[in-house]
């Protein structure tokens, strides 16, 4: 019988980080991924805040294929014609050890898996695990076709579409066999080429610095709830949208939503003459703290997206940092030789579960249709009203803003209510 | 202002992406068109980012070659028509950028 200490299913940031930490701790670990090369199945739409990577790879930014250090953040509200954008230039971020960087996952994940191999893990690419092997209620190994591999512990890092958890009844509700529309988002993304010179001039960037923008889309019809994002890589731009699946219930298609974003007058100027070189999509879990699957069980632990560790508040979506941290904590649990329930304790004591508990109520805000349908237009109209000189007597600012909000369909009462729920952000 | 509706040909866009397509008898997703025919919403069509679901002559057709393996159709389909799995290892979408 082929047996190892630990099998890890999935070599994204979660699985690869766990593999590195385990190998460093002297464990025999097998890291398995369905992509070949590793990274070729992986997609993301965000900035990597890799604070925790320093623990397993000191000064990783010097070695890793990172694109740009993010020093400019744009936060915007788009209505059909107009945009209000908060433009944050934090050049001090470039001097910090723990700054966020843009990454392209096909390159980054391949590098990280290679680091796992260098640390001593056995890394297998191009292998799709069909099922877990469960004996007397305990997960004891994995199966592909007729081949079986056994381990003391299996770490499930299969990503957002947690098929193994669903197939084996390892969700909170064991009878659940698919995810609900209300607990998932779809991210649709393109990578566009833009020469370095043009990009750096257009976005006021230096050779290694970059920007990340996040926008609430108030310009998509039929009440589709979506956010848009774009960020700069070395000589490409990543641009995409994240859509609440339960709001896609009309004639609007997921692949059209990214066009509403790209064709907005402001965004169109940002991406002028940029040529698309890759198109892709992935789901993003938004199940929330109360609906996470059991994070460990007899013989196994769940880390990263598979566990639902993605934070979103309508504007920002973060998953990679939680993935890395949960991978490290799962590895620590095994290295310390304790009970697997210590993994959940460690998560509870770390920012991972603290964040999710603290922001439990944020989902109410991200599901609020006013956030997408009314506020972007309301904010743009209010500011436009205040700033446009029409040769009329001036009203007080507050009065004017409230009037414009009201004209955009937002009542004072809902403003107060949403203000109260926004405090959870 | 009224929102101008946008229509695009996503197949063109998906043409920039690389796939290593498996043979037809190995399609990783299958559907049951009989169920789709009486489906009250057919939201798979709205969800799929590469337009793999289409109605031809009143029958739901599914084409797996352009699948991004995102899993959205399996979430949109609450009628148990979509049988979803990942492709075999090494097959399917191949991101060069990601």
Distances (CA, A) of B82 to A65, A197, B32, B33: 38, 47, 7, 9
Cis, peptide link before residue A247, omega less than 30° from 0: no
With CB atoms and an 8 Å threshold, state whether A180 touches B75: yes
Q: What pLDDT is recorded for position A385?
A: 81
Q: In whole angstroms, what is the distance from residue A280 CA to residue B68 CA?
A: 6
**A:B CB pairs within 8 Å:** 157
Report the 3 state secondary structure along A242-259: EEEHHHCCCCCCHHHHHH
Give domain A182-285's CATH number out of 3.30.9.90, 3.30.1160.10, 3.90.1150.10, 3.10.129.10. Answer: 3.30.9.90
Q: Could you report the per-residue pLDDT of A132-147, keeping only the tens digit for each?
A: 999 999 999 999 999 9
Q: Which two tokens stand for residue A212?
A: 């990340």
Locate all alpha helices (DSSP H) within A143-272, ordered by sequence. Answer: 163-167, 196-202, 254-262, 265-270
Residue range(s) occupied by CATH 3.50.50.60 in chain A = 3-65+104-179+289-359
What is the mean predicted confidence (pLDDT) over A288-312?
Answer: 95
DSSP state of A382: H
Nearest to A19 by CA among A5, A8, A34: A8
* pLDDT beyond 70 at A393: yes
DSSP, residue by residue, A41-87: T----SEE--TTHHHHSTTHHHHS-EEEEEEEEEEEEE-SS-EEEEE
Q: What pLDDT is recorded for position A425?
A: 57
Which residues of chain B have a CB within 8 Å of the CB of A163? 84-86
Distances (CA, A) of A384 to A322, A400, A405: 39, 10, 12
Instruction: Closest CB to A186: pick one of B1, B49, B88.
Output: B49
Mean pLDDT, chain A, integer: 92
- Residues in CB range of B88: below 8 A, 6 or more apart: A128, B22, B26, B28
* Least trusted range by pLDDT, from A229-238, A317-326, A415-424, B17-26: A415-424
CB A49 within 8 A of CB A146: no
CB B71 within 8 A of CB B1: no
Which residues of chain B have a CB within 8 Å of the CB of A125? 89
Q: Could you report the per-residue pLDDT of A311-324, keeping only the tens digit for each?
A: 887 667 889 999 99
**What is the CATH superfamily name and number for domain A3-65+104-179+289-359?**
FAD/NAD(P)-binding domain (3.50.50.60)
Shortest CA gap A177–chain B (Å): 10
Q: In whole angstroms, what is the distance from residue B81 CA to residue B74 CA?
A: 9
Q: In whole angstroms, what is the distance from residue B29 CA to residue A316 CA?
A: 32
Q: What pLDDT is recorded for position A381?
A: 85
Report the 3 state secondary structure along A134-148: EECCEEEEEEECCEE
* Least trusted range by pLDDT, from A222-236, A394-408, B41-55: A394-408
Q: Could you tell me if the ipTM is greater than 0.85? A: yes
Q: Which two tokens stand for residue A148?
A: 């079986």
User: Does the domain formed by B23-88 have CATH 3.30.70.20?
Assistant: yes
Distances (CA, A) of A17 to A168, A240, A329, B77: 25, 26, 10, 34
Q: What percentage of chain B reaches a pLDDT higher than 70?
A: 99
Q: What pLDDT is recorded for position A97?
A: 66
With CB atoms and an 8 Å threshold, state whether A280 touches B17: yes
Q: What pLDDT is recorded for position A2?
A: 81
How big is chain A by its Cα radius of gyration, in Å? 23
Flag whether residue A193 sits within 8 Å of chain B, measured between CB atoms.
Answer: no
Place of tokens 């199966």: A143
DSSP state of A306: G
Q: In whole angstroms, what is the distance from residue B47 CA to residue B29 CA?
A: 15
């Amino acid at each position: 019988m082929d047996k190892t200490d630990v099998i890890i299913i999935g070599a994204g940031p979660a699985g690869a980080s766990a593999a590195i930490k385990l190998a460093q701790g002297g464990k025999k670990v097998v890291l398995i991924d369905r992509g070949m090369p590793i990274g070729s199945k992986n997609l993301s739409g965000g900035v990597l805040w890799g604070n925790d990577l320093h623990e397993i790879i000191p000064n990783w930014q010097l070695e890793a294929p990172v694109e740009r250090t993010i020093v400019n953040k744009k936060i915007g509200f788009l209505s059909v014609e107009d945009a209000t954008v908060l433009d944050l230039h934090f050049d001090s971020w470039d001097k910090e050890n723990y700054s966020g960087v843009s990454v392209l996952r096909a390159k980054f994940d391949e590098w990280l898996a290679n680091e796992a191999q260098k640390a001593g893990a056995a890394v297998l690419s191009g292998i799709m695990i069909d099922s877990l092997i469960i004996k007397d209620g305990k997960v004891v190994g994995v199966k592909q076709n007729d081949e079986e591999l056994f381990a003391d512990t299996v770490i499930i890092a299969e990503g957002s579409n947690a098929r193994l958890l669903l197939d084996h009844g390892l969700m909170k509700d064991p009878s659940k066999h698919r995810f609900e529309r209300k607990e998932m988002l779809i991210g649709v993304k393109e990578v566009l080429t833009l020469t370095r010179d043009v990009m750096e001039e257009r976005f006021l960037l230096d050779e290694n610095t970059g920007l990340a923008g996040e926008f609430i889309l108030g310009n998509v019809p039929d009440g589709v709830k979506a956010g848009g994002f774009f960020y700069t890589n070395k000589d490409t731009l990543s641009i995409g949208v994240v859509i609440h699946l339960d709001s896609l219930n009309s004639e609007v298609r997921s692949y059209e939503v990214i066009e509403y974003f790209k064709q907005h007058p402001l965004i169109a100027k940002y991406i002028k003459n940029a040529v698309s070189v890759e198109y892709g999509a992935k789901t993003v879990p938004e199940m929330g703290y109360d609906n996470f699957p059991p994070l460990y069980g007899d013989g196994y632990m769940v880390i990263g997206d598979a566990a639902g560790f993605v934070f979103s508040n309508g504007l920002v979506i973060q998953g990679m940092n939680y993935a890395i941290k949960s991978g490290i904590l799962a590895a620590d649990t095994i290295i310390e030789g304790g009970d697997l329930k210590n993994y959940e304790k460690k998560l509870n004591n770390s920012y991972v579960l603290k964040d999710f508990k603290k922001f439990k109520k944020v989902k109410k805000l991200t599901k609020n249709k006013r956030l997408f349908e009314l506020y972007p237009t309301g904010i743009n109209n209010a500011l436009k009203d205040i700033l446009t000189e029409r040769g009329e007597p001036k009203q007080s600012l507050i009065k004017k803003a409230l009037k414009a909000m009201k004209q955009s369909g937002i009542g004072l009462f809902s403003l107060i209510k949403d203000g109260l729920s926004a405090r959870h952000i | 202002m009224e929102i101008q509706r946008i229509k695009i040909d996503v197949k063109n866009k998906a043409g920039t992406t690389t796939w290593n397509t498996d043979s037809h008898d190995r399609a990783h997703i299958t559907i049951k068109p009989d169920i789709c025919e009486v489906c009250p919403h057919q939201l798979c069509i709205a969800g799929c980012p590469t337009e793999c679901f289409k109605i031809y002559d009143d029958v739901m057709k599914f084409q797996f070659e352009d699948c991004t393996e995102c899993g959205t159709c399996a979430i949109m389909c609450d009628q148990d028509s979509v049988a979803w799995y990942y492709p075999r290892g090494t097959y399917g979408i191949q991101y060069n950028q990601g």
